[in-house]
Structure 1
Amino acid sequence: MSFDPVDHDLERGLDNRRRVLGDAWVERSLTGANDFNAEFQQLISRFAWHEIWSRPGLDHKTRRIIVLSITIAMGRWEEFDLHVRAALTGEASSRLTPDEIKEVLMQAAIYAGVPGANTAFSHAMAILREVGPQIGYEPQAYSPLDVFHSGTGQEDRTVSKPALHYTIRRARNGKAKNTVVLSHALGCDLAMWDRLASELAADHDVIAYDHRGHGSSDAPAGLYSMAELADDAARLLRELDSGPVVWIGLSMGAMVGQELALRHPEQLISLVIANSTSGYPQEARDNWRQRIATVQDQGIEAIADAVMQRYFHDTFRREHAGDVAAYRRRLLTTDTEGYIGCCNAVGTVDTTDRLKDLSLPVLVIAGRLDQGAPLQMSEIMSSQIAGAQLVVLEDASHIAVVEQPEAFADAVKQFLNKHD
């Protein structure tokens, strides 16, 4: 029986250690070892760097994050400094950006305590100043008074009236491909888009806004028209000096997008029409007038359950009762006059015969189970628009971006990648 003099577990551990911490650090540790600490160096190389870091269950980037979190919680600042420096300058595949390290420290403030996170920020900032030129990072002066939540965006209202409430998420890569505008459904608000907005903000500036009569936007008296809602949108884009945008609308938001593309074509690069229609048959128009009358007489509560049944299919309502309840609360807290005004705009939408005039890239998304805007309505729109692409989402009803968020996002991102 032969004996292999190579300790493979030790060699694997040293390989991981070099990849994560860098050759220079490991060589200093090894050449600086002596008869007092050499066994310890071997122990951590075999058991920490092989037994743990060689396991394929988590990638090295995730393990970096875990180490930073634990060293903050335990106040092991020498080890924390070592791993921050390595995370910023180490192997490219597991490197962390300054923003990613910031997120680790922010979360540590909640789970490990503000004092620990405060110390961690001081240590990390010192290292960033040291390695900043190497990684192309230079801290910029920024006031805490100007900070906003990166997951929901910078919040404001238009100066022009009726005032529209909106948020802007800037592209996290700092180089926005385009500006995307997200336009919500009747009885909802801009929060409907939170998940998709955060995904798209990886590569795009993203604007979400509340239509008049919804959320934190003004609710002028009277019945609205789709032309007024489209003019609102154009006014918002001009005030923000956004330039031409990608418009993504769902239900009412997609009706606004159609009208905007027809009335203000210079404002759009491309258009996504989701779970919507370009016009209703007479029976449906009568139903919209009846809905207005019911809300005027009895309030929104009288129609809330029926709306939820049309927004979400039976299985989703049963398995995601909390989500449905949240959308029901949002509906009930919508300004009554604003809701009625928008019901009129939706019920009288009429763009079918004009869609042939559109000459921009268009994606139409439909839900197979949609009762509010049946598949046939999407087929009519896609047939009217030259070159329009139709995507049908299975197991999706009217608010498809909520029921099938991954499939909805995939369809949108494929469209954007094709037309960016």
Structure 2
Amino acid sequence: MPALNLYANDPDGRADAPLVILGPALGAPASMWDKVAALLAADYRTQTFEHFGFNGAPVLHDSFSIGDIADAVVRLIDDVGVDKAYYAGDSISGAVALELARRHPDRVTAVAAVCSVARRIGDPSMAPLAATVRAEGTAARAGDIGDRWFAPGSQETHSAEIASLVEILSGADDETYARYLEALDAHNVGDHLDEITVPVLAVWSEFDTGDGEGKMRLIAENVQRGTLVGIEGAGHTPPLEQPEAVAAALRTHFRAGA
């Protein structure tokens, strides 16, 4: 398969400011980072991208890996015209953060993984979920997104964001979504965390699904330079629910890693 090129939005901010690339959760648009980007604007230039098959980005039906996405992030850094960048990613884009730090430590100054996971060999297979998406479509994953991704009570406080996510996920390309799940299923960066020398911020949130804190603690405690931060009042997408807290955590981490 040819090298991947990300469906990137235009960078925002001063051309001379340090670059921060922000990766969305799978099924969410890049705009999930808009409020965080605005809060970082005084100090950083921000760049976002859309996942393939979502929100206008082209579909991708060939198999690919999380490493392929990490390599594509490096090409995005090249396209912006800088040597190094900071990177933060939510959910699957947090897995990209870890792989980016592992494969390309010379191209990132520091990374952050938000409500993500470092899968290891032997973790439960995601193949059944990929099969469900192929059989029933992404709409089957969208109906309860408010309950799965947000803190309790968010149906009232974040109704517009939830409605937008439901629409985007329902309209996403089924095969591309399944390919992302298979890429994550094969990603065993959790067995290689001790190889990561780049500073890593692992962010968990109060209402994330499963053992969110435990997953992020595993990352923070096993990379060479890890920091663990918790965000209250948020579910799986804290940049949408608690942008001030996320921006503050990123700014502190990036300054420490500079």
Is TM more than 0.5 here? yes
* Alpha carbons of structure 1 residues 354 and 341: separation in structure 2 relative to 1, 3 Å: same
In the alignment, which of 48, 52, 74 is matched to residue 234 of structure 1?
74
Structure 1 residue 243 and structure 2 residue 86: aligned?
A: no
CA gap 1:359/1:164 in 2 versus in 1, 3 angstroms: same
Q: Which residue of 1 aligns with 2:245?
A: 407
Give 1:282 shift. 5.1
Q: Using a 3 Å threshold, how does the CA distance of structure 1 residues 264 and 188 change in structure 2: closer, same or farther?
A: same
CA distance in 2, matches of 1:242, 1:224: 26
- Letter matched to residue 169 of structure 1: D
Q: What is the TM-score of this pair, normalised by structure 1?
A: 0.57
1:170 aligns with 2:8: no
Give runs of aligned pairs for residues 264-343 of structure 1, distance below 5 A.
264-279=104-119, 284-285=124-125, 288-343=126-181
More helix by share: 1
| Residues 215 and 334 in structure 1, CA contact (< 8 A), matched pair in contact too | yes
Counterparts of 1:330 and 1:399, CA distance in 2: 15
2:30 aligns with 190
Distance 2:67 2:4 in 1: 16
Shift of 1:416: 2.5
Once the two structures are TM-superposed, the CA of residue 394 in structure 1 deviates from its matched residue by: 1.8
Alpha-carbon distance change, 322 to 166 in structure 1, aligned in 2, over 3 angstroms: closer
Letter in 2 for 1:251: S
- For residue 43 of structure 2, the aligned residue among 169, 190, 203 is 203
Residue number in structure 2 paired with 1:386: 224
Cα shift at 1:296:
0.9
Superposition deviation, residue 419 in structure 1: 3.1
Letter in 1 for 2:150: F
Tell me, yes or no, if the aligned pair for 1:370 and 1:397 is still in contact at 8 Å. yes
Shift in alpha-carbon separation, 1:317–1:290, aligned structure 2, 3 A = farther
Name the amino acid aligned to 1:170. Answer: G
SS in 2 for 1:314: coil
Partner of 1:361: 199
For normalisation by structure 2, the TM-score amounts to 0.90
| Contact 2:146 2:154 survives alignment (8 Å) | no
Q: Deviations over 1:188-238 (max 9, x none)?
A: 121111111122122211111113333333222133321221122122222
Q: Which amino acid aligns with 1:167?
A: D
Query: Is the 8 Å Cα contact of residues 141 and 169 (structure 2) preserved in structure 1?
Result: no
Counterpart of 1:395?
233
Q: What is the rounded CA distance, in whole Å, between the counterparts of 2:128 and 2:145 in structure 1?
A: 14
Structure with greater proportional strand content = 2
1:220 aligns with 2:63: no
CA contact (8 A) 1:182 1:193 kept: yes
The amino acid of 2:29's aligned partner reads D
CA RMSD, 1 decimal: 2.1
Q: CA deviation at 1:318?
A: 4.0
Decide whether the 8 Å contact of 2:142 with 2:170 is kept in 1: yes
The letter for the 1-side match of 2:181 is C
**Unpaired segments ≥5 residues, structure 1:** 1-159
Quote the offset at 1:336 in angstroms.
2.1
Contact 1:213–1:341 (Cα < 8 Å) also in 2: no
- Worse overlay, 192-201 or 217-226: 217-226
Distance 1:373 1:304, change over 3 A: farther
Percent sequence identity over matched residues?
Answer: 25
> Using a 3 Å threshold, how does the CA distance of structure 1 residues 403 and 372 change in structure 2: closer, same or farther?
farther
Q: Which runs of 4+ in 1 moved over 3 A?
A: 160-163, 280-284
1:91-119 Cα distance to aligned partner (Å, 9 max, x none)? xxxxxxxxxxxxxxxxxxxxxxxxxxxxx
Matching residue's letter, 1:166 = N
* Distance in 2 of aligned mates of 1:323 and 1:284: 31
Q: How many residues align?
A: 256
| Distance (Å, rounded) in 2 between the aligned partners of 1:204 and 1:242 | 13
- Rg larger in structure: 1
Note closer, same or farther for the CA distance 1:346–1:373 as it changes in structure 2 (3 Å cut): farther
